[in-house]
C-alpha cells in the first residue's frame, strides 16, 4: 500500500512519487528512486532552518529509473513524499508514474472540451438553468452553441440575434419567460 513519509524517514532504494509539474488541476508525478538522504550540516543552515532541532532540513538525491538522470533537492523539514510499492504502475513509453504527463494532458483536454460544450458562447460560464441552444449543420456534423437567456443579459441579446429568423425559437423563449415569471410569482 502506498503511504506518505517525511523526507528524513526515506532510505536508499525506496521508490517515491515526486511532483514535477501541474497541468490544470492535476499534478504530474515522476517515479524516483532514493539514492541518498542526509541532514543539512549545521554550517549550511540559515536562520529560518533552526526552528525544529528534531526535524532539520535534508538533502535528497534521487534517480529517475526511466532516464537514469540524478537530481538533488534541499527539502524543508515538513516535506512529505508518497512512497510507492515496487509494482506501482508506470507508463510503458516514458516510465512516469501512471497516469503520466501525456495521459494527463489528454485528460485535461477532454475535460476542457466537455466544459466548453456546456459553456455559454457569450460569457463562457457553464452555470445557470435558463439556457437555449442553437444547432447548426457543419461538414463535421452538428455544432451546438449555448446561450444564457435571462432577461436583460448580453447573452440573451446575442441569442435573439442568432435566432432572429426562427419564429419557433422566439416563441419558445417567450413561453420560457412566462413560465419563469409564474415561478417567481409563486415564490413570493
Q: Is residue 98 part of a domain?
A: yes
- Cβ atoms of 74 and 49 closer than 8 Å: no
Residues in Cβ contact with 26 at an 8 Å cutoff, skipping those fewer than 6 apart:
104, 107, 108
Are 59 and 88 members of one domain? yes
Q: Is residue 51 part of a domain?
A: yes
Are 31 and 9 members of one domain? yes
- Quick one: which of 35, 32, 39 has its CA closest to 82? 32
Q: Is residue 117 part of a domain?
A: no
- Tens of pLDDT, residue by residue over 129-182, are 788 888 888 888 888 888 988 888 888 889 989 998 889 888 888 888 888 888
Are 22 and 72 members of one domain? yes
| Bridge partners, residue 144, by sequence | 135
> Which residue range is the domain that position 155 belongs to?
122-187
**Helices and strands (DSSP H and E) totals, the chain:** 3, 8
Q: How far apart are CA 11 and CA 53, in angstroms?
A: 20
Are 99 and 126 members of one domain? no
Are 53 and 134 members of one domain? no
* Per-residue pLDDT in tens (0 to 9) along the chain, 188 residues: 468 888 888 999 888 887 777 776 667 777 788 999 998 887 777 766 656 666 778 888 888 776 778 988 888 877 888 888 877 777 777 766 677 778 878 887 888 888 777 888 898 887 777 888 888 888 888 888 889 888 888 888 899 899 988 898 888 888 888 888 888 888 87
Are 10 and 92 members of one domain? yes
pLDDT of residue 53: 64
Exposure pattern of 27-46 as b/e (b: 16+ CB <10 Å)? ebbbbbebeebeebeeeeee
Are 85 and 175 members of one domain? no
Q: Is residue 133 part of a domain?
A: yes
pLDDT of residue 66: 65
Residues in Cβ contact with 121 at an 8 Å cutoff, skipping those fewer than 6 apart:
145, 146, 147, 158
- Total domains present in the chain: 2
Are 95 and 126 members of one domain? no
- Cβ atoms of 77 and 57 closer than 8 Å: yes
Q: How far apart are CA 181 and CA 18, in angstroms?
A: 55
pLDDT of residue 50: 59
- Cβ atoms of 28 and 95 closer than 8 Å: no
The beta strands (E) that lie in 55-175 are given as: 58-63, 70-75, 80-84, 131-138, 141-148
pLDDT of residue 6: 87
The model's pTM: 0.47
Q: Is residue 154 part of a domain?
A: yes
Are 16 and 102 members of one domain? yes
- Cβ atoms of 85 and 2 closer than 8 Å: yes
Amino acid at each position: 500500500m502506498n503511504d506518505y513519509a517525511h523526507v528524513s524517514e526515506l532510505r536508499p532504494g525506496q521508490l517515491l512519487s515526486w511532483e514535477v509539474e501541474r497541468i490544470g488541476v492535476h499534478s504530474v508525478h515522476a517515479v524516483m528512486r532514493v539514492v541518498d538522504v542526509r541532514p543539512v550540516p549545521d554550517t549550511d543552515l540559515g536562520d529560518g532552518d533552526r526552528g525544529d532541532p528534531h526535524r532539520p532540513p535534508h538533502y535528497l538525491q534521487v534517480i529517475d529509473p526511466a532516464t537514469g538522470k540524478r537530481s538533488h533537492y534541499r527539502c524543508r523539514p515538513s516535506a512529505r513524499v508518497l512512497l510507492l510499492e515496487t509494482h506501482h504502475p508506470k507508463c510503458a513509453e516514458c516510465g512516469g508514474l501512471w497516469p503520466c504527463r501525456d495521459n494527463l494532458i489528454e485528460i485535461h483536454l477532454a475535460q476542457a472540451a466537455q466544459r466548453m460544450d456546456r459553456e455559454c458562447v457569450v460569457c463562457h460560464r457553464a452555470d445557470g438553468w435558463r439556457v437555449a441552444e442553437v444547432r447548426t449543420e457543419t461538414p463535421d456534423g452538428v455544432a451546438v452553441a449555448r446561450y444564457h437567456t435571462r432577461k436583460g443579459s448580453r447573452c440573451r441579446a446575442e441569442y435573439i440575434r442568432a435566432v432572429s429568423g426562427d419564429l419557433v425559437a422566439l416563441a419558445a423563449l417567450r413561453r420560457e419567460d412566462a413560465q419563469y415569471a409564474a415561478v417567481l410569482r409563486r415564490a413570493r
